[in-house]
A and B are shown apart, each in its own frame.
Chain A
Amino acid sequence: IIKSDRSHRKSKLSRDVEMDIEFLYKAVPQLAKVFRIVDKIGEGTFSSVYLGEAQMRDGRREMFALKHLIPTSHPTRIAAELQCLTVAGGRENVVGVTYCFRKEDHVVIVMPYMEHQAIVDIIGSLSFEEVRLYIYHLLKALKHIHQFGIIHRDIKPNNFLYNRNSKMFALVDFGLAQGTADTQIELLKVVKQRSSQKGGGSTGKQEAAHRSKAPSKLPHKTTTTASTPLSPPPGQSVALPPSSSSSSTTTSFSVSRKVLVKKARSVATTITTAASSRTKHTKDLAALRKVPRPVFGERNLNSCTPAPSTTKQAAIKTELVMPSRPEDPAGRRYSSATRFPPPVKIQSSSQKPQRTVQQGLTCNCYMTDRVCNICMSRKQQVAPRAGTPGFRAPEVLTKCPNQGTAIDMWSAGVILLSLLSGRYPFFKASDDLIALTQIMTIRGSRETIQAAKSFGKAVVCSRELPRQDLRTLCETLRGRRPSPDDEVTPVPEAATRHYKIQDDTPTHRPVEGTFKQHDDGAGETLSSKLANHQKQSQAANRLTEQNSVTDGKVEEDERGWDSVPDEAYDLLDKLLDLNPHTRITAAEALQHPLFKEL
């Protein structure tokens, strides 16, 4: 994403970049009076970042990062990003903001430029000490923003800049940030309620309101009011899902728009399915429904149906902020797939009743390997989801509506896992449930199922996946231990075969109600195999390491990876705690023995 070396600045800019710079000068003419824009240093889905040089009043010339936001960003989102920077930035490894320029819908946030290296380029050469330092400084930034009630939501190496030479760090990109219930960032509190129109005939009208929250202790005083009413253009309904029926009063700032789109499709699918195989059962259910038709526009889909507990005809109290944007798809950044899939034609109204089947009906699919008409006709749960798939916490992946700063701690854990294992990205999935399953292969399926209960989710997986020993895993992935599949040392033939065909091997058929606790035995294989293999290869390993120690140069090449302390894996274990309630906080993590003398 970014070019770390300065070489490209000297080389001639590409025609594309020149044109982009020209375009930016035209879009925001004030820039030309202040900056000499010398390069484009980043381009994401929601912004392009340029490098600019400016003359300061004190005579110095300084370099700045100019973040040109995509003009389709809602002003409230822009203001919230800016406010995170003005309130929390400029210290504690959080990037500061120097100024901001706007012309109409073009907004450019000016930040001090920090030269940095992309993790993917240096991961193979990082020493353990650098990794320790990197995580320490990330935790410092997280502690700081969490104190302000900011959930960053997109913690990943691309957003935590590292300058290897100067040992400087900077957390950037509050474009997806969300506030905790008691956030001190006024613009992250912006919440609006909308009242439902009863029984169809929606005009799409909404009322904007805001939570009146006493102005809290902001380090910087701003004149900004607590909320900006967002009223939709005439005749336009708001395509926002409400936050879930659970009582959270925080915003659903980043409820993914993509979720909505997908939701739309998913609903369409379900409807199609149901319609083509309509049973008496579903008809009866439809007839039973007491819930008014969804009142907002098509794109609201089922999500606007009130939760069972609030069903009556009472106003739907939904807290919403603004049209939200999808997660930052780092995993898809290079894919040619469009970010926002084309509009999906929603089924006509004749089919709508299908999706408003009484919500609260239970069936006996719960915790089984089945789904039926009843459970599939319920509304989809909506939960904040913005972020990058491989860095999303289990509670995000499972659509837990109450999410807190712990989600950033999970992401920090994924980064640590990545750095300790020398793999980036570590998880690689474009689908939330695949991501969740990948997590289970590392942290264990039973453990995941157990933790999910604590945040109100029943998880069923068709295979038991054993929890891995983190040191063994990281060292193997780093190539410090031969992989059990390598033929370096003999491995029991049966074990090898089992491991390799694991995917296709039918597991025990889940037995309703009990099978999820059922240990299907397959689980033991990989870990025991690793352990087994470990024993066998240890002698050989020791030999190799002794050899390398005798050779000074090779020893240097170890970069500390031959003596990673247990504390590192202990912290990793606490960051990757599947249960957000017990997951270590940033403040606690900074006290961890791993950082004792820092």
Chain B
Amino acid sequence: RIINRQIPAAAAVKRTVCLQSMIFVAGGRISKPFIKVEDSSRHYRPIHLTMPNMPEFNLRTVAPFSPFCGDEKDPPGNKQRGQRYRKNRDKKRGGYCECCMIKYDNLTTHLQSERHKAFSRSDKYSVVDRLVSTLPCNFIHIKTNVKRPKCSIS
């Protein structure tokens, strides 16, 4: 993909080259086919994209798959049906922690970090607890069979 904007990290070098050639070598002209969007205040950086092909719907694609399947790399229909959720993604996946405001490579490791554990024991969750305290609880203990609700939340 010849994309000058929002490109996967792996393509960093290429992207730079691409952007350079686009802006400076090509005299600022955006290669076609492209789309460009700019805020009419003209206070913000335009966003633009040169596409390998102009997207088009393909009437011959097979239902029920997207008529735009050709626009992206994925071949149509090889992964849509019958697939359940992906298993154990969480544990392996990296991500961003909203609580700690940092990125992590491994969820399990991050959740065990001192910083995160400190947050998880902080009073930041009182906003959740206050809401929960307004909810009635109509469950009973299944194991002990005690006939009283037991819904303490922490």
Contacts and interface: CB of A to CB of B under 8 A. Distances in A.
Given A86-B135, A339-B93, A376-B45, A43 B87 contact: yes
Interface stretch (A176-184, A286-294, A341-349, A582-590): A341-349
A316 interface: no
B63 A477 contact: yes
Interface residues of B, number: 116
Nearest to A324: B98
B111 to A, nearest CB: 6
B55 A477 contact: no
Given A30-B151, A224-B127, A371-B28, A427 B68 contact: yes
Contacts of A377: 45
A503 B33 contact: yes
Q: Could you say which of A433, A460, A473, A504 has the most chain B C-beta atoms within 10 Å of its C-beta?
A: A433
Contacts of B28: 365, 370-372
Contacts of A471: none
A453 B64 contact: no
A81 B67 CA distance: 34
A564 interface: no
B95 A502 contact: no
A428 B57 CA distance: 10
A431 B6 contact: yes
B54 A503 contact: yes
A347 to B, nearest CB: 11
Contacts of B83: 334
A77 interface: yes
B9 A222 contact: no
Contact of B96 (A107, A121, A221, A325): A325
Contacts of A552: none
Interface string B1-32: 00101111100100110011011100111101
A340 interface: yes
Interface stretch (A436-444, A543-551, A571-579): A436-444
Interface string A343-357: 110000000000000
A523 to B, nearest CB: 11
Contact of A442 (B33, B38, B39, B57): B57
Q: Could you say which of B44, B63, B93, B105 has the most chain A C-beta atoms within 10 Å of its C-beta?
A: B44
A535 interface: no
Contact of A82 (B56, B104, B124, B131): B131
A318 B142 CA distance: 49
Contacts of A367: 38
A376 B23 contact: yes
B40 A55 contact: no
A528 B10 CA distance: 42
Interface in B76-130: 79-90, 93-105, 107, 110-111, 115-117, 119-121, 124-130
A236 interface: yes
Contacts of A44: 85
A324 B101 CA distance: 10
A339 B81 CA distance: 22
B38 A334 contact: no
Contacts of B27: 370
A366 B43 contact: no
A483 interface: yes
Contacts of B12: 265, 269
Contacts of B130: 79, 222-224
Contact of A477 (B59, B84, B149): B59
A366 B128 contact: no
Interface in A217-269: 220-224, 228, 232-233, 236, 238-239, 245, 257, 262, 265-266, 269
B121 A104 contact: yes
Contact of B139 (A2, A54, A232): A54
Given A220-B134, A338-B93, A431-B49, A477 B67 contact: yes
A73 B9 CA distance: 25
Given A104-B120, A379-B45, A399-B47, A56 B139 contact: yes
B88 to A, nearest CB: 6
A442 to B, nearest CB: 7
Contacts of B90: 43, 48, 70
B23 A32 contact: no
Contacts of B48: 371, 433
Interface string A455-489: 01111111101000000010011110001111000
B19 to A, nearest CB: 5
A413 to B, nearest CB: 16
A429 B39 contact: no
Nearest to B89: A43
A437 B51 contact: yes
A79 B127 contact: yes
A506 B32 contact: yes
Given A3-B84, A340-B103, A428 B115 contact: no
A102 B125 contact: yes
Given A378-B44, A429-B68, A104 B154 contact: yes
B50 to A, nearest CB: 9
B139 to A, nearest CB: 4
B103 to A, nearest CB: 5
Contacts of A35: 139, 142
Contacts of B99: 72-75, 105
Contacts of A121: 81-82
A555 to B, nearest CB: 20
A359 interface: yes
Nearest to A377: B45
Contacts of A266: 5-6
Interface in B126-154: 126-135, 137-144, 147, 149-154
Interface stretch (A140-148, A162-170, A270-278, A404-412): A270-278
Contacts of A430: 72
Contacts of A598: none
26 contacts: A33-B141, A34-B142, A36-B142, A55-B139, A57-B138, A57-B140, A70-B107, A102-B128, A102-B132, A102-B153, A187-B127, A232-B101, A270-B19, A308-B43, A339-B93, A366-B42, A370-B30, A371-B22, A379-B43, A426-B68, A433-B48, A440-B35, A456-B40, A457-B37, A462-B32, A478-B63
Closest 3 CB pairs of A and B: A43-B85, A105-B120, A483-B59
Interface of B: 3, 5-9, 12, 15-16, 19-20, 22-24, 27-30, 32-49, 51, 53-57, 59-61, 63-69, 71-72, 74, 79-90, 93-105, 107, 110-111, 115-117, 119-121, 124-135, 137-144, 147, 149-154
Given A369-B34, A458-B37, A460-B38, 10 more contacts: A2-B84, A77-B98, A79-B130, A86-B135, A100-B153, A272-B16, A423-B66, A428-B71, A433-B51, A473-B57
